Amino acid sequence: MFSHRTPREPLTRKQKLRREVLRILVISAAALLSAFNLNSFVDTADLFPGGFSGAALLIIRLTDKYLGLKLAYSAVFLPLNIFPIYLGLRYLGKKFTFYSMYFTILSSVLTDAIPAIPITYDVLLICIFGGLINGMTIVLCLWMDASGGGTDFISIVLLERKGINAWNYILAGNVVILSLAGIFFGWDKALYSIIFQFVTTQVIQNLFKRYNQLTLIVITDMPESVYDKISILTHHDATLFRGEGFFRETTKHMIYSVIGADQAPMLIREIHEVDPHAFINVLKTERLAGHFYSRPRE
């Protein structure tokens, strides 16, 4: 196992300021997009998105239907996020939680303030494009090292701290919400909401891959240089195997490492810069047991 590592250079104050400004701008845009989506797509078709947002809309519509009381979205959604915010502060870091709270509060306020502007009344189109927008808002937050609140907090805590994939638990919660929605508001709304949630999930899985792992196998004549790239760029370690190639019967070096899926394109490009003849095989890692470096949160 290789052991040396060259540390990354710290960001300058100007670079940090630019990063924080960009972070605020992108998260603000995501909050605006989320509010627009809820008012112009979700409410138009009476859909129930997944997570705490869907739970909040269910409470609001039940209260309106049976009590004649129209609650503000922020009055329901924000209290639901108290426990997830506590988890974020305890396990995910203050800065991550702050920006997640910023998105949660801003998107809630904007949802109450922005008027609904229906784009289409075709429910299937709303499910598809509304799901795309919903997934994109979540991805924008994740790219900026924040979350959309609610179940995002819970799933990240369980995955990073406990190594538990929370998808099944979130799915079970969504099933409960959709079942209640079907009972009280008609099964067509619940079934269309499944399409909305499916599209959202596909967008997130295809655009945000930080929590996916890949197995990297590199056959190279320059193992030290290749390992330097893996170590410096990803902070992951590697194992070196020595063997003999069948074709030319020469000694070969094989480096084995597990990296984040989002790191693969950059790393492959960098490895080929130091060794243009390197043979690289990337495999999907289905399950990982043992220590795996995760970039610390602020």
39-62 pLDDT, tens per residue? Answer: 999 999 999 998 899 999 999 999
Q: What CA–CA distance (Å, rounded) separates 171 from 245?
A: 48
pLDDT of residue 296: 59
pLDDT tier at 3 (50, 70, 90 boundaries)?
A: very low
- Averaged pLDDT of the chain: 87
Q: Is the pLDDT of residue 6 over 70?
A: no
Residue 114 and residue 169 in one domain: yes
Q: How many domains is the chain partitioned into structurally?
A: 2
Residue 51 and residue 185 in one domain: yes
Residue 141 and residue 239 in one domain: no
**135-150 average pLDDT score:** 90
Residue 124 and residue 242 in one domain: no
Range of the domain at 227: 213-285
Residue where a domain terminates, one of 177, 207, 237: 207
| pTM listed for this prediction | 0.78
Residue 180 and residue 258 in one domain: no
With respect to residue 293, please indicate whether it lies within any of the assigned structural domains. no
**223-236 average pLDDT score:** 90
With respect to residue 290, please indicate whether it lies within any of the assigned structural domains. no
With respect to residue 252, please indicate whether it lies within any of the assigned structural domains. yes
Q: Is the pLDDT of residue 221 over 70?
A: yes
Residue 229 and residue 274 in one domain: yes
Residue 165 and residue 89 in one domain: yes
Residues 6+ apart with CB under 8 A from 68: none
Read off the pLDDT of residues 69-111 as tens digits, 9 standing for 90 and up: 999 999 999 999 999 899 888 888 889 999 999 999 999 999 9
Q: Is the pLDDT of residue 128 over 90?
A: yes
Residue where a domain terminates, one of 161, 190, 207: 207
244 - beta bridge partners? 251
With respect to residue 4, please indicate whether it lies within any of the assigned structural domains. no
Q: Is the pLDDT of residue 191 over 60?
A: yes
**168-183 average pLDDT score:** 87
Identify the three-state secondary structure at position 134: helix
pLDDT of residue 164: 67
**For a pLDDT cut of 90, what percent of the chain falls above it?**
58
Residues 6+ apart with CB under 8 A from 84: 52, 149, 150, 151, 152, 153, 154
Residue 277 and residue 177 in one domain: no
Q: What CA–CA distance (Å, rounded) separates 24 from 282?
A: 35
Q: Smallest Cα–Cα separation from 137: which of 59, 36, 211?
A: 36
With respect to residue 233, please indicate whether it lies within any of the assigned structural domains. yes
Burial class (CB in 10 A: 0-12, 13-18, 19+), 39: buried
With respect to residue 21, please indicate whether it lies within any of the assigned structural domains. yes
Residue 27 and residue 168 in one domain: yes
With respect to residue 193, please indicate whether it lies within any of the assigned structural domains. yes
**For a pLDDT cut of 70, what percent of the chain falls above it?**
88
pLDDT of residue 249: 67
**181-191 average pLDDT score:** 93
What are the C-alpha distances in Å from 221 to residues 80, 265, 268? 56, 21, 16
Residue 203 and residue 225 in one domain: no
pLDDT tier at 157 (50, 70, 90 boundaries)?
A: confident
pLDDT tier at 224 (50, 70, 90 boundaries)?
A: very high
pLDDT tier at 297 (50, 70, 90 boundaries)?
A: low
Residue 168 and residue 265 in one domain: no
Residue 26 and residue 149 in one domain: yes
CATH of the domain at 262: 3.30.70.120
Residue where a domain terminates, one of 178, 207, 236: 207
pLDDT tier at 165 (50, 70, 90 boundaries)?
A: low
Read off the pLDDT of residues 196-209 as tens digits, 9 standing for 90 and up: 999 998 898 888 77
pLDDT tier at 162 (50, 70, 90 boundaries)?
A: low
With respect to residue 43, please indicate whether it lies within any of the assigned structural domains. yes
